[in-house]
Amino acid sequence: MPYEFDLFVIGGGSAGVRCGRIAAGHGARVAVAEERFWGGTCVNVGCIPKKILVQAAEYGAWAEDARGFGWDITKGRHDWAALIAAKDREIGRLSGVYRKLLDGAGATIFDGRATFIDSHTLDVGGRRISAERIVIATGGHPLRPAIPGAELGIVSDAAFFLPERPQRVAILGGGYIAVEFAGIFRGLGAEVDLIYRQPLPLRGFDQDLREALAEALAAQGVRLHPGTTIKEVRANGGIRTALLADGTEVAADLVFFAIGRRPNVAGLGLANAGVELDRFGAIPVDAEMRTGQPHIYAIGDVTDRLNLTPVATAEGHALADRLFGAGPRKWNFEQVPTAVFSTPPLATVGLAEEQAAERGPVEIYIARFTPLRHNLTGRRRWTLMKLVVDQPSQRVLGVHMLGEEAAEIVQGLAVALSCGATKTDFDRTVGIHPTAAEEFVTMRTRTRVAGVARAAE
């Protein structure tokens, strides 16, 4: 039977828009449906507005630090409402750009919810539409814990639309969102309590990096509560009290839950299309992004694998090229760099020391120092840099950094790791002086060797 569209994409976020735009550029008849906001989580309630809030918090610190360089600057009152209004204007502009990209490529746009009637047919805002191939790119949503009083707190989506900045914030979680908002609220003047189950924040990251971040958070005045959780939230007027599992009570104006995200799959009618979920509620796919139905695909956070915007975008691009182009470009998903815009930020690419040591002996190089700027400002702020090197081959397996401009620096080094750079390649590279980045090519003294016992086995 003839289909109305060659490709129908459910979801107008980073993955869906890129897939639809590239497929339309290849000449396919493409439609994309989005029920909430174009650009998805990243543009509207994720990466972009979060980075704007991080930058807003940095200005207060810079105003204080300027005295160390002879500037007579008085730090005034921060206008939260003005910041949110400026953020909303920029987000509105970017969301419009996503629509324009699809429209310019010749894709058909639907502002509405799409649900499966059967494996080739969708209901889109009450209209029945058929498509030869269908892509599910509906992203994820933040979780709220199943505890008494959970409704008294917020999740990350709401944090971008608060009418005023709270003076006291209790944040539950130790991941990206939790540590980033701890720095944001603290930098804007709030008292912050950060509560997390693990001994250190950012489970899965390199141990040295995790320890350095915990130290940095404490140095800026964030109160840390490791090894515990919130078991109940109570309200007394506008005041919230978080009761912790260790018996501590934390009073706050705002309780913020940042305990993770889950795929957006509810109400899609997946059973009507024969698309199954795994035990975590994600859509399992094969190496070519196919679900159990060979003509239905899933990309981005709805698959709950590498939940990063650039990965979702790359998956969408590769799928469109595979289906309608000359073939997918080669993306390197094994060494995906990532950054956490904490205060200070951190970034990493490749293996953590613990992961690398499981494979065999590795050499560890670490540099820790006070950035030149803060020798004058007096701010308690350090930079940590770390290289994880395979001992037999001398190939650099991991690059890790906590410190100012970490994301910008590690992005460049990710290219080197993708090309298989060795420690010798780093050593023979001339540094740019004076910069923090030059430390990565001047580390000569080995800190330790790890994984030797594993190799002996």
Active site residues: 433
**Mean pLDDT value of segment 235-246:** 96
The answer, yes or no, to whether residue 331 has pLDDT greater than 80, is no
Structural domains present in the chain: 5-141+262-324 (3.50.50.60), 150-259 (3.50.50.60), 344-445 (3.30.390.30)
291: tokens are 């679900």
**Mean pLDDT value of segment 431-440:** 97
The answer, yes or no, to whether residue 456 has pLDDT greater than 60, is no
pLDDT at 108: 98
Render pLDDT for 60-86 as a digit per residue (tens, 0 to 9). 999 999 999 999 998 999 999 999 999
Q: Are 171 and 193 in contact (CB under 8 A)?
A: yes
Q: Are 166 and 254 in contact (CB under 8 A)?
A: yes
Strand partners, 339: 347
Q: Which residues contact 449 (CB under 8 A, 6 or more apart)?
A: 361, 362, 363, 364, 391
Distance of CA 190 to the CA centre of its chain: 23
pLDDT at 361: 97
pLDDT at 328: 79
Alpha-carbon dihedral angle through residues 66, 219, 154, 346, given to the nearest 10 degrees: 80
What percent of the chain is helix, strand and coil (3-state, nearest 5)? 35, 25, 40
The answer, yes or no, to whether residue 329 has pLDDT greater than 80, is no
Classify the C-alpha dihedral 126-127-128-134 as positive or negative: negative
The answer, yes or no, to whether residue 454 has pLDDT greater than 60, is no
The answer, yes or no, to whether residue 1 has pLDDT greater than 70, is no
